[in-house]
Structure 1
Amino acid sequence: MQRTKRTLFAGIATAGIAALTLAGCSSTEAEALDNGDRQDLTIAVFNGWDEGIAASELWKAILEEQGYDVTLEYADPAPAYSGLTTDDYDVVLDTWLPITHADYIEQYGDDMVDLGAWNEDAALTIAVNEDAPIDSLAELADNADLFGNQLVGIESGSGLNRVTTESVIPAYGLEDLEYTTSSTPAMLSELKAATDAGENVAVTLWTPHWAYDAFPIKTLEDPEGALGDAESIHSFGSKSFTEDFPTLSGWLEDFTMDSDLLYSLENAMFNEYDGDDYGPVVADWIADNQEYVDSLTS
């Protein structure tokens, strides 16, 4: 994806080239903010990852109040990270380390900027309904028939899918289960339908996620450690990010958001609200958390 370029002048006679060059310089300067940052900003948002959508929508609202022209571009991780290395995207706020997105950072990290972690409580999970007759992944294979012999996953290109396929399934002998991958919304739809009907269900999930507040579910214990330890959620900028956005770079380096705050924002956006125009929802949340929000750009 190439960011749209503004065409400031067209059909100009050759005689006006010198004057237009000066005008072009003025236009470029006009697109810089008083704080030294470039005005237009493109945030890459991973499809289906609600904490990243929430954080991106929050920063979009905050930065637009500061005069930035912010665009959110949804993409899967691979094209998002590739786009950061070529400055097609400016920043992504949802990199999980040291496990989930490690392959992408190994491949693209030399041409990106790590702006630090803003949440330290991230973890990949396998979740089941709260009243399921098992409490551990070690019990799932022997009780697969109680779950329709199915494990419901999310996007095939996600880090969670890779960990599930390469680590969890072989570690616990789950090869005979039908492991389906589609999308996070599809997984959540199946989770809701099963819990509403009082049926057993097993899904790949993660924390922090609003589903843990919305549905009666529990995390299966992982005695083999196949899902890895708790992770941190980092912001990564493009190779030119600190040069193009010196002020925003500092804000994002200082950005922290604990899980309780994140849950409340996610609940407002994805559970209590049924729609995709998050602007008014985020504005209401900001009004309820104004002191915290003001601190992000202080």
Structure 2
Amino acid sequence: MLMKKTKLTALGGVLAASVLTLTACGVSNSGGGTEAGGGTEAGGAETEAASGTDWSNCTPGAESTDVASLEASADQDQDITIGAFNGWDESFAAAHLMKYVLEEDGYTVDIQAFDAAPGYTGVANGDIDFLMDTWLPLTHADYIEQYAADMEAQGCWYDNAKLTIAVNEDSPAQSIADLATMGDEYGNRIVGIEAGAGLTKTTQEAAIPTYGLEDYEFVVSSTPAMLAELGTATDAGENIAVTLWRPHWAYDAFPVRDLEDPEGAMGDAEIIYNFSRTGFTEENPRVSQLLKNLVIDDENLSSLENIMFSEENFGGGDNDAAVEQWVSENQQFVEDWKAGALA
């Protein structure tokens, strides 16, 4: 088993062997596709990993327990490396939240930004301690299938990761099906994001034909453009329909809600897991337990991401300061997390 002392040199091998892009933290998740949640990044067919585990069956916080009896000194190594996925806001939100709590307890934490493939390679090789943004049972299934023998599951912390069509809270439609007869209410438009996103493909190939929305103009634009239209419409009290996904800070920044999807055209919700390198549980029992204790619901996650990434707040410019502000307003969350009381 590769010990942490070798990480600085071993990580160079990962960088040389993999296509790795280090970017500024907090760029917007593009809602599916080749590098975003809810898509088919690994080509992932829904499958059980090599261990035979049913990854669709996990309750966040199910393994929770109070860490009061586990002092930081119980952990063999207090230099922790967390991997986060480029372009996935929730990846950096969870990683920086963990960093804040660990550093308050005396650990040294380094967050490294990766594309998914080198991120999983790094964990499996022991160069990264853990990742906190594995979407299962679909999006990252192929990576787990490949690396399950060299990683340890550390619980799941969110169970509502999904693609959506959303509208302003006070608009008339309750279901995507309602849009077919309410075109005039929404200007016969659905505002989308990037052309290459999985969310765009799902909307075009599944939601529109399933619900008979061919008469709508599906505006393929960009995530910033969609959010700008959403903000303008909600500020003006106008109806709007947009493609969106959970988790996203827009649910905290704007008065929006998801339309029901009775036909399941947008796909099922996924679960977000933590995965660590082999041996991490034994060597770092306290951090392992904190990972298993973590549960973030939609309200907390969207408010944290809003402070971190929206242009009205930190805009992705200082994730540590953003988390510090959020924690100052949500100290009970941290206390409950350590006590195993978030579930």
Q: TM-score by structure 1 length?
A: 0.69
State the distance in 1 between where 2:120 and 2:183 align. Answer: 37
Q: Match for 2:334: what amino acid?
A: V
Which stretch shifts more, 143-152 or 106-115?
143-152
Corresponding position of 1:237: 276
Q: Give the distance between the partners of 1:201 and 1:156, measured in 2 at CA.
A: 22
Q: Say whether 1:203 aligns with 2:245.
A: no
CA distance in 1, matches of 2:92, 2:240: 26
- 2:334 is matched with which residue? 293
**1:144-191: per-residue Cα shift (whole Å, max 9, x none)?**
684564441369466x566546644553456785463644x4543342
* Among 102, 106, 131, the residue aligned to 1:92: 131
1:71 pairs with one of 110, 128, 135: 110
C-alpha RMSD of matched pairs (Å) = 3.8
CA–CA distance in 2 between the matches of 1:66 and 1:214?
31
DSSP-derived class of the 1:128 partner = strand
Out of 118, 122, 127, the residue aligned to residue 157 of structure 2 is 118
Give the C-alpha shift of residue 252 in structure 1.
Answer: 0.8
Instruction: Indicate yes or no: 2:292 matched with 1:277.
Output: no
- Deviation for aligned residue 1:99: 4.1
Instruction: Report if aligned partners of 1:251, 1:296 keep a CA contact under 8 Å in 2.
Output: yes
Distance 1:108 1:41 in 2: 18
Distance 1:205 1:85, change over 3 A: farther
Q: 1:282 to 1:164 in 2, by over 3 A?
A: same
Question: Given the superposition, is the C-alpha separation of residues 81 and 147 from structure 1 closer, same or farther in structure 2, using an over 3 Å criterion?
Answer: farther
Q: Look up the match of 1:44.
A: 84
In structure 2, relative to structure 1, the CA distance for the partners of 1:111 and 1:191 (3 Å cut) is farther
C-alpha distance in structure 2 between counterparts of 1:152 and 1:106, whole Å: 32
Q: Give the partner amino acid of 2:326.
A: W
1:38–1:244 Cα contact (<8 Å) kept: no
Residue 214 (1) aligns with residue 253 (2): yes
User: Do the aligned partners of 1:122 and 1:233 also contact (CA within 8 Å) in 2?
Assistant: yes
Residue type of the partner of 1:192? Answer: G
Shift of the 220–116 alpha-carbon distance from structure 1 to 2, 3 Å rule, reads same
What's 1:9 paired with? none
Instruction: State the partner residue of 1:15.
Output: none
Query: Which AA in structure 2 matches 1:222?
Result: D
Contact persistence 1:44–1:90 (CA under 8 A): no
The question of whether the paired residues in 1 share the 8 Å contact of 2:159 and 2:272 is answered with yes
| CA shift for structure 1 position 94 | 2.2
Match of 2:273, SS state, is strand
Per the alignment, residue 62 of structure 1 pairs with: 101
User: Equivalent residues in 2 for 1:130-279 (5 A)?
Assistant: 130-132=169-171, 134-140=173-179, 146-147=186-187, 149-153=189-193, 156=196, 160=199, 163-164=202-203, 167-172=206-211, 177-178=217-218, 180=220, 182-183=222-223, 185-239=224-278, 241-242=280-281, 245-270=284-309, 273-275=313-315, 276-279=317-320
After superposition, the Cα gap between the structure-2 partners of 1:4 and 1:122, relative to the gap in structure 1 and judged at 3 Å, is: same
**Counterpart position of 1:16:** none
Match of 1:18 in 2: none
The answer on whether the counterparts of 1:45 and 1:72 sit within 8 Å (CA) in structure 2 is no
Question: Rg larger in 1 or in 2?
Answer: 1
Partner of residue 35, structure 1: 75
Determine helix, strand or coil for the equivalent of 2:97.
helix
Shift of 1:211: 1.8
Corresponding pairs, count: 269
Superimposed CA distance per residue, residues 244-263 of structure 1 (whole angstroms, 9 cap, x where no aligned partner): 64432222122223344334
Query: 2:330 corresponds to which letter in structure 1?
Result: N
Higher alpha-carbon deviation: 240-249 or 274-283: 240-249
The answer to whether the 8 A contact 2:252-2:303 is kept is no
Percent of aligned positions that are identical: 47
Q: TM-score, normalised by structure 2?
A: 0.62
Q: 1:44, 1:89 within 8 Å by CA — same for their partners in 2? A: no
Say if 1:115 and 1:253, in contact at 8 Å, map to a contact too: yes
